[in-house]
Amino acid sequence: MKKMSIRKDDMVVVLSGKDKGKQGKILEVMPKEGKVVVEKINVVSRHTKPRKQGDQGGILKKEAPIYACKVQRVCPKCGKPTRAAHKVQADGKKVRICKKCGAEI
């Protein structure tokens, strides 16, 4: 299986589907399924029934997972879709940098 390069809290842009072009933050990464949950992307409504007296019931909106291959990371610095490059710093710490602007992401 392909290793996922996306992590929680990354900004991504959706490449296909009904949310194409929209950007959002990664809320959850599901490596086994190869899926991610993105804030405000692929939101599904679920009708809930009141469970007890005084409970209102209504519509519950929740993000459904989408395939990680359908999103691309967006650099928070330059705002462009990018692939992260890995760089090892002098102290041996690995950092991810934006290939477009060189910012640490």
Using CB under 5 A, list all residues that contact Zn ion: 75, 77-78, 98, 100-101, 103
Integer Cα distance of 17 and 10 in angstroms: 20
Q: In terms of CB distance, is 95 or 103 closer to Zn ion?
A: 103
Q: How far is the CB of 32 from Zn ion (least distance, A)?
A: 30
Q: Helix, strand or coil for residue 68?
A: helix
Q: Is 65 exposed, middle or buried (0-12, 13-18, 19+ CB in 10 A)?
A: middle
Q: How far is the CB of 83 from Zn ion (least distance, A)?
A: 11
Q: Helix, strand or coil for residue 69?
A: helix
Q: How far is the CB of 77 from Zn ion (least distance, A)?
A: 4
Q: In terms of CB distance, is 41 or 98 closer to Zn ion?
A: 98
Q: In terms of CB distance, is 35 or 73 closer to Zn ion?
A: 73
User: Residue for token digits 């469970």?
Assistant: 51
